[in-house]
Amino acid sequence: MSKPHILVARDIFPEVIEQLAPHFEVHANQDDTLWSQAELIERLQGKDGALLTGTQPINAELLAACPRLRIAANMTVGYNNFDVAAMTAAGVQGTNTPDVLTETTADFGFALLMATARRMAEAEHYLRAGLWKSWRYDMFAGSEVHGSTLGILGMGRIGQGIARRGAHGFGMNVIYHNRSRLSPALEAECQARYVSKDELLAQADHLVLVLPYTRESHHAIGAAELARMKPTATLVNIARGGIVDDAALAAALKDGRIAAAGLDVFEGEPGVHPGLLAVPNVVLTPHIASATVPTRLAMARLAADNLIAFFDGRGALTPVNQPVHRS
């Protein structure tokens, strides 16, 4: 029996290509060429499945042009690159990589919060520029982390990981807002108190965004929300670009309407709003919250396992939709 053909759309760990090889005719992009939508469509011709990294949109146009495609396996937990309704209607399975990146991403969220609150990037640039000539009592004085109020918008698995770190590690008072409230048992474990979005904005000393990007969460933090925050507050976004209105944030940081921001994700990345590059009170990282070798390998392996299980007839392991499959 001939093996299904799959496309691996970006460069990936060689061991994952080896994992796929016994099961599939693998067409890999080990040169890591960045394909346009038209090029991706062309490469997907004759392919039954695809392993994607979250930067390639799977939309109605692509689905119509790739009638053989049966599964798109994302190597990401967020899947805003999928038009899920169009995929379901077209009978195409989507999968993501939950759980395997939760703790690593929560670690990074906390690191970014600390770097932002304690002005680490600004201080390092100052030192490297040879500007450090003497000590001053207020040199790079930042804001307190321990004992402060940690606000979390979006309380899924990663949000809960950040809450636990804040509550148990740093004695923080944790408040959160989410579409649905956690069970009393989970609230107790995270030592987190549910509040309205308005209360969250008004009370948080450090506000961390960990919600999925959807039509509803587009610009969930814009000028109006930033105006409700404390002028001493920090904002951390490890979720998705587009949840924050980056132009409004750049203006708020410039005018000191909030103290600082830590951003791992951006509207239109890899582009970054020039206003953010121009202000010192923001720590900027290039979408690396899940980037440790073991975690990225676990993500890639889970995406591969989804493809293998699906074509074995066992069903996808971590599906994001329930299509009636193309035969």
> DSSP secondary structure string, 44-111?
HTT-SEEEE-SSS-B-HHHHHH-TT--EEEESSS--TTB-HHHHHHHT-EEE---STTHHHHHHHHHH
Nearer to ligand 8YV, 211 or 229 (CB): 211
- Tell me, what DSSP letter sits at residue 166? I
165 catalytic, yes or no?
no
Burial 179-206 (b: 16+ CB within 10 A, else e): eeebeeeebeebebeebeeeebbebbbb
Q: Measured from the CB of residue 244, what is the shortest distance to ligand 8YV in angstroms?
A: 15
Q: Measured from the CB of residue 211, what is the shortest distance to ligand 8YV in angstroms?
A: 12
Cβ neighbors of 106 (< 8 A, separation 6 or more) are 158, 161, 162, 164, 165
Q: Measured from the CB of residue 101, what is the shortest distance to ligand 8YV in angstroms?
A: 6
269 catalytic, yes or no?
yes
CA gap 70, 63 in Å, rounded? 10
The dihedrals phi and psi of 257, each to the nearest 5 degrees, come to -75, -25
CA gap 117, 261 in Å, rounded? 8
Helix, strand, coil shares of the chain, percent, nearest 5, are 35, 15, 45
Q: Which of 27, 157, 269, 301 is catalytic?
A: 269
144 catalytic, yes or no?
no
Q: Which of 5, 287, 301, 326 is catalytic?
A: 287
Nearer to ligand 8YV, 99 or 198 (CB): 99
Binding residues for ligand 8YV, rule: CB under 6 A, are: 53-55, 76-78, 101, 287, 290
Q: Is the peptide bond before 270 cis (omega within 30 degrees of 0)?
A: yes
Say if CB 190 and CB 174 are below 8 A apart: yes
CA proximity to 99, closest of 326, 290, 246? 290
Nearer to ligand 8YV, 102 or 148 (CB): 102
Q: Measured from the CB of residue 291, what is the shortest distance to ligand 8YV in angstroms?
A: 7
Strand partners, 236: 208, 262
Q: Measured from the CB of residue 102, what is the shortest distance to ligand 8YV in angstroms?
A: 10
> Which residues are part of the catalytic machinery?
240, 269, 287
